Amino acid sequence: MKQQERAVRTRRALVHSAAEAFQRHGYVQARLAQISADAGVSPGALHFHFENKAALARAVQASAGMRLRRAAGAATRRSGMNALQRLTDTSHALAEQLRTDVVARAGYRLSCEQTRTISHHGGQDLCGQWQTYVQQQLTEAARHNLLTEAAIPHETAASIVAATTGLETLARHDATWLSHETLTNWWELALRCLATPTTLPALRAAGTGTPRPPHPQ
């Protein structure tokens, strides 16, 4: 049992070290020797757990996917939430995870920029999963008459994915692009274009996890 626990700790340390290396240097420039050294394990231990760098990258992606799905799930378990609010809340939860978790951040970046070596051997398409989720929420919103006539679900989904992925890309060099304030401002604009006049007043661009600002006197 102790040996099993040690193996789990070693694997977790390698995944975290790899995520930091991929984040700093990118997949191509990251070096296995440095990853193993930063994790405090020997190169032999690294190769015992991971055949090569592509296998390690896929492990980072898998861990990122699990963490992002867990964050999204926690954000959408509140009862009585319509699809537009659910989408807004989920985007805030995912942004928070990307801001604070290097494994989630590196895994998402790898997924969006994955090389042929990774993608041909089981790399996760986290960007594609996000697009599917956005499309599902917008389709549900349309079914419940929450969207304006101009907001066609599949076209709107492409625009939302492009915008949110763009914020993540910009945040690699300036973290304020993925801040809660920036994302809230973006949703303020987007929701005014997407939601019907009767739907809009109840929506929270900042997400339901933050206190509602006081009503102006």
213 within some domain: no
Residue range of the domain that includes 67: 2-202
139 within some domain: yes
Closest CA to 89 of 202, 172, 203: 203
**Tens digit of each residue's pLDDT (9 = 90 or more) over 107-135:** 999 988 765 555 545 667 898 899 999 99
Q: How confident is the model at residue 209 (pLDDT cuts 50, 70, 90)?
A: confident
- Report d(CA 84, CA 196) in Å as an integer: 11
Average pLDDT value for residue range 59-68: 94
Sign of CA dihedral 114, 125, 96, 198: positive
Average pLDDT value for residue range 154-181: 95
Average pLDDT value for residue range 209-214: 55
pLDDT of residue 123: 67
Q: How confident is the model at residue 92 (pLDDT cuts 50, 70, 90)?
A: very high
32 within some domain: yes
Query: DSSP E strands: which ranges in the chain?
Result: none
Between the two ends of the chain, the Cα-to-Cα distance in Å is: 63
212 within some domain: no
Tokens 């304030």 sit at which residue? 181
pLDDT of residue 214: 44
pLDDT of residue 216: 37
Give the pTM.
0.87
Neighbours of 190 (CB within 10 A): 21
Total domains in the chain come to 1
What one-character-per-residue DSSP string does 93-133 give? Answer: HHHHHHHH-HHHHHHHHHHHH--HHHHTTT---HHHHHHHH
Residues 6+ apart with CB under 8 A from 190: 160, 163
pLDDT of residue 76: 78
**3-class DSSP state of 162:** helix
**Tens digit of each residue's pLDDT (9 = 90 or more) over 186-198:** 999 999 999 999 9
**Tens digit of each residue's pLDDT (9 = 90 or more) over 11-60:** 999 999 999 999 999 999 999 999 999 999 999 999 999 999 999 999 99
pLDDT of residue 89: 96
Q: Which segment, 58-72, 103-117, 200-214, is predicted with the most confidence on average?
A: 58-72
135 within some domain: yes
207 within some domain: no
Average pLDDT value for residue range 152-164: 96
- Report d(CA 141, CA 188) in Å as an integer: 17
pLDDT at 6 over 90: no
**CATH code of the domain covering residue 186:** 1.10.357.10
Virtual CA dihedral for 31, 169, 90, 149, nearest 10 degrees?
-150
99 within some domain: yes
pLDDT at 182 over 70: yes
pLDDT of residue 217: 36
pLDDT of residue 193: 96
64 within some domain: yes
CA 199 remoteness from chain centre: 27
Looking at every residue in the chain, the average pLDDT score rounds to 90
Closest CA to 90 of 14, 12, 160: 160
pLDDT of residue 77: 78
